A = this chain, B = another copy of it.
Amino acid sequence: MSLQTDVVRNNDGAEVRLFTSPSEFRAGCRSGELQMITRNQCPGYVQAAMVALPKALAFDFMLFCQRNQRACPILEVIEPGQYEAKRSAPGSDVRTDMPLCSVYRNGERVEDVPDATTVWRDDLVTFLIGSNTSCDLALQRAGVQTQRYRWPLVTTIPTEPAGKFHGPLVVTMRWLTPQELIIATQLTSRFPFNHGAPIHVGDPSVLGCDLEHPLTGSPPPPVPQGLIPTFWACSVTPHLTAIAAKIDFMITSVPTYGLITDVESDKICIP
């Protein structure tokens, strides 16, 4: 398969291959060819985290998302027996079109699979939830760097519960210059379906951030002079919530391995 890619250089000068077509990227996941993290791929398209859980719990989970919209902006809900994200990614199959899915049984993550077809159940309702990554191209165009200085962190801020769903708010911390902070606040305010504006600026301890255990990568070093920690609600929040509810059976995307949709981020932002 020959896929459309751009080749760019990262901050260290190394060449990075960037896929540009969401449908081709999804096809590459489906064939097993692509198993990379999705952050930075197909810039300018909305990426979604996935939580698929039994229909009996779907109302309470949707209510949880409604009560915690900043962290859990629902892009699309796929009804039981269906696997295609008809609205945001026509032709997709959410069982196969992400690089990796996690399977949970009785609240335990039992395996990560590139293809969830054989374990899928027809009573699953699938929620697709917007991601910070969706705003990266808009930020880059405005001169805000998005590659470095970025950590997903668990906080001690409680979400508002619904039914058995509860848990802490998860945030994305980025370190920005004062000018980047101002631009990033303006710009991300326009993307309410991808977490919107920052929720905090400055001291991470105000949110009770667990800096020792970021959800991906190493703990952050001391903040460089002149950079300001800036915090956005993060779509790992609904993941952790669903895990904390100890559901009998659930399938989720793996954080940083999302579904790349056909929705252009600029098309669902506020003017």
Oligomer: number of copies: 2
Of A59, A66, A74, most buried by chain B (CB within 10 Å of CB) is: A59
Smallest CB-CB separation from A63: which chain B residue? B77
Q: What are 23 A-B contacts defined by CB distance under 8 Å?
A: A58-B59, A59-B59, A59-B62, A62-B62, A62-B63, A62-B66, A63-B77, A63-B79, A66-B74, A66-B77, A67-B77, A67-B87, A185-B271, A186-B271, A189-B270, A189-B271, A190-B270, A192-B192, A192-B270, A196-B270, A197-B270, A197-B271, A270-B270
Point out the residues of chain B lying under 8 angstroms from A197, CB to CB. Answer: 270-271
The size of the chain A interface, using a CB distance under 8 A, is: 19
| A257-271 vs B, Cβ < 8 Å mask (1 yes, 0 no) | 000000000000011
Interface residues of A (CB under 8 A from B): 58-59, 62-63, 66-67, 74, 77, 79, 87, 185-186, 189-190, 192, 196-197, 270-271
Complex formed: what's the CA distance from A59 to B127 in Å?
A: 13
| Further pairs besides A189-B270, A189-B271: 12, Cβ < 8 Å | A59-B59, A59-B62, A62-B62, A62-B63, A63-B77, A63-B79, A67-B77, A190-B270, A192-B270, A196-B270, A197-B270, A270-B270
Point out the residues of chain B lying under 8 angstroms from A67, CB to CB. Answer: 77, 87
Point out the residues of chain B lying under 8 angstroms from A271, CB to CB. Answer: 185-186, 189, 197
Point out the residues of chain B lying under 8 angstroms from A66, CB to CB. Answer: 62, 74, 77
